[in-house]
């Protein structure tokens, strides 16, 4: 393994975020995990520590810019630096546009887009001061294909891809930027769908095969572990059966 890094993970209470936090801690990195559900974070911390890993947890609402800044600043104050931030927090309450679930549109924009921007804004000054760092954006294959009921969700994931690619083009080469774009993954994110038609559609879609969150964690570990002169810009990870 390469040198131990200080790695922040948002949306770490379940699914991909929890798997990423546990996997990176198992590789010897120190993880600072944030999410809204403190009981889930406590359970994650217990599992990681029982396995010999190093982790801190903190309640985090990525829609609150000041909260994200405090999350990052606290890690820097404690450890002197931050090497990687995995901007993972996301929601997916998909629905047809004519269902007019406008509050859910706002929720997706606030978490999936503004949450990402808040993570970048809080961390970029530290990376610039340090002379290096690594942004990991949790994208989706939804950024590359549109499905009925997915107009707003797909738009937020395309925005996440575009923001990350723009960031890569703008920052100093000492700062790496990676977008991870999973296909169908075992997680609770589909449980945020309240529209019955969309819920049934995603259930049928998932019947075609899903992959474990651990597959995404391994992909992130690969991107982080590459030498400093290698920038893994994007990884698209789907179930083998996906078409």
User: Phi, psi at residue 32, to the nearest 5°?
Assistant: -115, 110
For residue 195, give the 3-state DSSP assignment: coil
12 alpha carbon, distance to own chain's centre: 8
CB 21 within 8 A of CB 32: no
**How many CA atoms within 13 Å lie on the side-chain side of 99?**
19
Is residue 140 within 8 Å of 15, Cβ to Cβ? no
- Cα distance between residue 62 and residue 161, in whole Å: 18
Neighbours of 123 (CB within 10 A): 26
Tell me the C-alpha distance between 146 and 203, whole Å: 17
Residues with catalytic function: 153
Contact present, 129 and 171 (Cβ < 8 Å): no
């Amino acid at each position: 393994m390469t040198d131990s890094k200080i790695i922040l993970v948002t949306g770490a209470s379940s699914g991909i975020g929890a798997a990423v936090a546990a996997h990176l801690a198992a590789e010897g990195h120190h993880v600072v995990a944030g999410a809204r559900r403190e009981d889930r974070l406590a359970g994650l911390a217990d599992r990681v520590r029982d396995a010999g890993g190093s982790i801190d947890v903190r309640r985090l609402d990525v829609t609150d810019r000041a909260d994200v800044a405090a999350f990052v600043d606290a890690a820097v104050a404690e450890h002197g630096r931050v090497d990687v931030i995995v901007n993972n927090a996301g929601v997916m309450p998909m629905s047809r546009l004519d269902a007019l679930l406008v509050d859910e549109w706002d929720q997706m924009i606030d978490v999936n887009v503004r949450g990402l921007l808040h993570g970048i804004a809080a961390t970029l000054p530290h990376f610039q001061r340090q002379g290096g760092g690594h942004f990991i954006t949790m994208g989706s294959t939804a950024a590359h294909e549109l499905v009925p009921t997915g107009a707003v969700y797909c738009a937020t994931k395309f925005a996440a891809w575009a923001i990350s690619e723009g960031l890569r083009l703008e920052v100093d080469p000492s700062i790496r930027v990676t977008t991870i774009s999973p296909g169908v993954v075992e997680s609770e994110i589909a449980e945020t769908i309240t529209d019955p038609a969309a819920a049934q559609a995603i259930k049928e879609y998932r019947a075609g095969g899903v992959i474990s969150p651990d597959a995404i964690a391994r992909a992130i570990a690969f991107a982080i572990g590459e030498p400093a002169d290698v920038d893994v810009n994007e990884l698209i990870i789907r179930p083998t059966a996906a078409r």
